[in-house]
């Protein structure tokens, strides 16, 4: 059996970036579908007997992982990466929290999620808030 020359082999491979793009897209789509299932389970009484912990956790975990993986593709600067990591972590921790039975640990994780979201929005507010005092030109001395 003859193997392909190196050039043909490299052309026949799917670039890792394309695979990662597909994975991120599938995860994000699955998160939306899982969110729809979650709402349907809540709205349809005959589905109410299902264990809803995994159903509640799925959209959060899926979108958190998708957003985290997206950062490999978009390669933001360090500051922006840390902010995006904050949001992805909040979704992932929230998803984990949904899977836990009520306990002090679950309560603390829920509080951590709240803190992460508050910090994220506080940073956005800080960036977009106009200055308290508009800078003015220094007065021209009278001569």
Domain assignments of the chain as residue spans, ordered by start: 16-128
**All residues at 6 or more sequence positions from 50 whose CB lies less than 8 Å from its CB, including other chains:** 41
Q: What is the token pair recorded at 120?
A: 């994220």
Q: Which of 1-15, 40-54, 64-78, 112-126 has the weakest average pLDDT?
A: 1-15
Give dist(CA 93, CA 116) in Å, integer: 10
Q: What is the pTM of this model?
A: 0.77
Predicted confidence band at 40 (pLDDT cuts at 50, 70, 90)? confident
The arithmetic mean of pLDDT across residues 108-135, rounded, is 90
The arithmetic mean of pLDDT across residues 119-138, rounded, is 83
Q: What's CA 75's distance to the chain center, in Å? A: 15
Give dist(CA 115, CA 89) in Å, integer: 11
Predicted confidence band at 49 (pLDDT cuts at 50, 70, 90)? low
Q: What is the pLDDT of residues 73-99, one digit of tens each?
A: 999 999 999 999 999 999 999 999 999
Task: For CA atoms 36, 42, 46, 48, give the dihedral sign.
Answer: positive
The arithmetic mean of pLDDT across residues 105-114, rounded, is 96
């Amino acid at each position: 059996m003859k193997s392909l020359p190196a050039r043909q082999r490299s052309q026949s491979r799917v670039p890792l970036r394309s695979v990662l793009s597909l994975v991120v897209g599938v995860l994000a789509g699955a998160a939306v579908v899982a969110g729809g299932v979650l709402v349907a389970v809540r709205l349809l009484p005959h589905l109410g007997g299902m264990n809803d912990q995994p159903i509640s956790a799925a959209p959060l975990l899926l979108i958190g992982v998708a957003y985290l993986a997206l950062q490999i593709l978009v390669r933001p600067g360090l500051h922006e990466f840390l902010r995006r990591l904050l949001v992805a972590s909040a979704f992932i921790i929230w998803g984990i929290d949904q899977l836990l039975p009520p306990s002090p640990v679950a309560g603390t994780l829920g509080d951590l999620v709240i803190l992460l979201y508050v910090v994220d929005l506080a940073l956005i507010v800080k960036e977009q808030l106009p200055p308290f005092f508009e800078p003015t030109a220094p007065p021209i001395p009278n001569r």
